[in-house]
Amino acid sequence: MPAHTRPRGPDATAGGLPVGVVGTGYVGLTTAACLARLGHTVAGVDVDPDKVDALNHGEVDLGEPGLADLVRAGRDAGSLGFTTDPAALGAAGVVVVCVPTPSGPDGTADLAVFDSVLAGLAPVLAPDCVVAVKSTVPVGTTARAGRVLDRATVSNPEFLREGHAAHDFLHPDRIVLGADDPTAAGRVAALYAGLDAPVLRTDPASAELAKYASNAFLALKVSYVNVLAELCERVGADVGDVADTLRRDPRIGSAFLTPGPGWGGSCLPKDTRALLRTAEEAGVDFALLADAIAANRHQHDRVARTVREAITGSADGALAGVRIGLLGLTFKAGTDDVRDSPALAVAARLAVDGAVLTAYDPGIGRAAAGALTAAGVQSVDDPVLVAKDAAGLVLLTEWPRFRDLDWAELADHTGNPVLVDTRGLLDPGTMAGAGWRYHRLGRGRGEPGPTPG
């Protein structure tokens, strides 16, 4: 069992520790900015000179609420700076590794960047520097890093939600430290001094596995409720009422029980694949997780089929040349991230069938252009352009502002006011009053709406 403690009070840092953070993506930049906010002196290291220059000027290109303000505050206070020179880590008492570990073709985590970082760290770190691994890595990686670097290493996985990363870092529900050296674990724990959160101390392998296990369990819940939604449609039940009953059971909890087009993003897809691969290598038949992954792929097909039937009136209806408007492209609201987005997965299936797709997403950025092109989607900056002459609309990302659109105006612009709401975001009565034939996933009884024709 892990030991449960809490970080020592603010005096424990004695004015803060010199800290290095390697990598300035979602996790790395959030870690660097928030550690500076907690009173440490932080050097962020990245291989991209343009990104480093922008960060040193307070420019942040990630759509994370509050993160840009934290970066600028740290820069202005002199507690946060960025460089491409690993030698800047020489004064650090703790170096936190936050580099990507993408999924390889067989589901195994690709550690090429991580291993390259280890090779670069070896000659520059101070003898007593502790390395904390915040990157999501396979079981055994932290111990291997300790052998490569010949020093104490600590697994310190992150549990940050995109769109809430800075908040989650500064208000964590738990801090996990996996280490064989209690002194090293204590030094990493001191980074979080002053935060009111339990610290779970365990061995490195358990900490590494806990990260994968957490994300995989969330994926299981989403796949479960999506299959449940399909069952509700078949038997005439309402998944909203069924899920509300589940949420009220404290043994189940309320999160991740809303049906949608599937789960995606930078974590759940790669982490479920990596955990499944780990199980296979260990000789464990993790059929439950494999089924959740398969259910997620099925959900993309199911949503595309629902759209086809809603727009054409038939599950076999032709979509070639049919103009369809999409609302939302990011994998969830509150972020600009389209990595493994279920919205794009559904769009790609519609595009293969010949549909002409136009989309609006308030968070999308230029960096997503390649992914949109691959999915066959044209992005526009006005929802009216999405609706204009469309045979129907599909809501794919749960942006709250979509509730406040002028739906009566959008209905006037469409050639066929049909809406498939894959997130259950909108009110059926309101949509009926605005002139829409409204379809929501997981409802077996008909939604109110105007009679066709």
Q: Are 69 and 80 in contact (CB under 8 A)?
A: no
Mean pLDDT confidence for 387-404: 96
* Count: domains in the chain: 2
Cβ-count burial of 313 within 10 angstroms (0-12 exposed, 13-18 middle, 19+ buried)?
exposed
Is the predicted pLDDT of residue 166 greater than 50, yes or no? yes
How would you class 281 by CB atoms within 10 Å of its CB: exposed for 0-12, middle for 13-18, buried for 19 or more? exposed
pLDDT of residue 444: 67
Domain of residue 405, CATH code: 3.40.50.720
Q: Would you place residue 15 in the very low, low, confident or very high pLDDT band (cuts 50, 70, 90)?
A: low
Q: Both 135 and 145 in a single domain?
A: yes
Least confident interval from 142-146, 374-378, 422-426? 374-378
Spell out the residues 6+ positions from residue 235 whose beta carbon is closer than 8 angstroms to its own: 444
Q: Which of 202, 231, 246 delimits the end of a domain?
A: 202
Q: Identify the band that residue 445 occupies on the pLDDT scale cut at 50, 70 and 90.
A: very low
Q: Residue 364: what pLDDT?
A: 87
Backbone φ/ψ region at 85: left (φ over 0), alpha (ψ -120 to 50), beta: beta
Number of residues written out for the chain: 453
User: Are residues 190 and 244 part of one domain?
Assistant: no
Q: How far apart are CA 74 and CA 72, in angstroms?
A: 5
For the chain, what percent of residues have pLDDT higher than 70? 94
Is residue 38 within 8 Å of residue 191, measured between CB atoms? yes
- The angle formed by the CA atoms of residues 149, 151 and 157, to the nearest 5 degrees, is 85
From 202, 226, 258, give the residue that closes a domain. 202
Query: What average pLDDT does range 89-106 have in this prediction?
Result: 95
**Model pLDDT, residue 359:** 96
Q: Which amino acid is at 399?
A: W
Q: Which two tokens stand for residue 341?
A: 């987005």
Do 290 and 166 fall within a single domain? Answer: no
Q: What is the average pLDDT value for the chain, to the nearest integer?
A: 92
Both 208 and 198 in one domain: the answer is: no
With b for 16 or more beta-carbon neighbours within 10 A and e for fewer, the 156-184 pattern comes to bbbbbebbebbbbbbebeebbbbbeeeeb
* 442 and 371 inside one domain: yes
pLDDT at 14 over 50: no
Residues 331 and 228 in one domain: yes
For residue 5, the model assigns a pLDDT of 43
Over range 117-133, report the average pLDDT: 96
Q: What's residue 382's pLDDT?
A: 95
pLDDT digits (tens, 9 = 90+) for 235-267: 999 999 999 999 999 999 999 999 999 999 989
Name the pLDDT band for 365 (thresholds 50, 70, 90).
Answer: confident
pLDDT at residue 60, rounded to an integer = 93
Mean pLDDT on 74-103: 96
pLDDT (tens digit per residue) in 372-386: 988 999 999 999 999
Residue-wise pLDDT tens digits, 58-78: 999 888 899 999 999 999 999
pLDDT at 174: 97
Phi and psi at 219, nearest 5°, equal: -65, -40
Task: Give per-residue pLDDT as tens, 322-363.
Answer: 999 999 999 999 888 899 999 999 999 999 999 999 999 999
Mean pLDDT within 160-176: 95
Last residue of a domain, which of 156, 174, 202? 202
For 77, the domain range is: 3-202
Hey, which residues are catalytic here?
Answer: 267
pLDDT of residue 398: 96
The two beta strands, 94-97 and 80-83, are unpaired
Q: Say yes or no: 90 and 182 in one domain.
A: yes
The answer on 412 and 313 residing in a single domain is yes
Shared-domain flag, residues 211 and 126: no
Q: What pTM, to 2 d.p., does this model score? A: 0.88
In this structure, are 187 and 48 located in the same domain?
A: yes
Q: Residue by residue, what is the 3-state secondary structure of the chain?
A: CCEEECCCCHHHHCCCCEEEEECCCHHHHHHHHHHHHCCCEEEEECCCHHHHHHHHCCCCCCCCCCHHHHHHHHHHHCCEEEECCHHHHHHCCEEEECCCCCECCCCCECCHHHHHHHHHHCCCCCCCCEEEECCCCCCCHHHHHHHHHCCCEEECCCCCCCCCHHHHHHCCCCEEEECCCHHHHHHHHHCCCCCCCCEEEECHHHHHHHHHHHHHHHHHHHHHHHHHHHHHHHHCCEHHHHHHHHHCCCCCCCCCCCCCCCCCCCCHHHHHHHHHHHHHHCCCCCHHHHHHHHHHHHHHHHHHHHHHHHHHCCCCCCCCCCEEEEECCCCCCCCCCCCCCHHHHHHHHHHHCCCEEEEECCCCCHHHHHHHHHHCEEECCCHHHHHCCCCCEEECCCCHHHHHCCHHHHHHHCCCCEEEECCCCCCHHHHHHCCCEEEECCECCCCCCCCCC
174 and 216 co-located in one domain: no
Strand order in the sheet with 18-22: 3-5, 199-202, 175-178, 153-155, 130-133, 94-97, 18-22, 41-45, 80-83
184 and 217 housed in the same domain = no
The per-residue pLDDT for range 283-302, each reduced to its tens digit, is: 999 999 999 999 999 999 99
Q: How far apart are CA 263 and CA 244, in angstroms?
A: 20
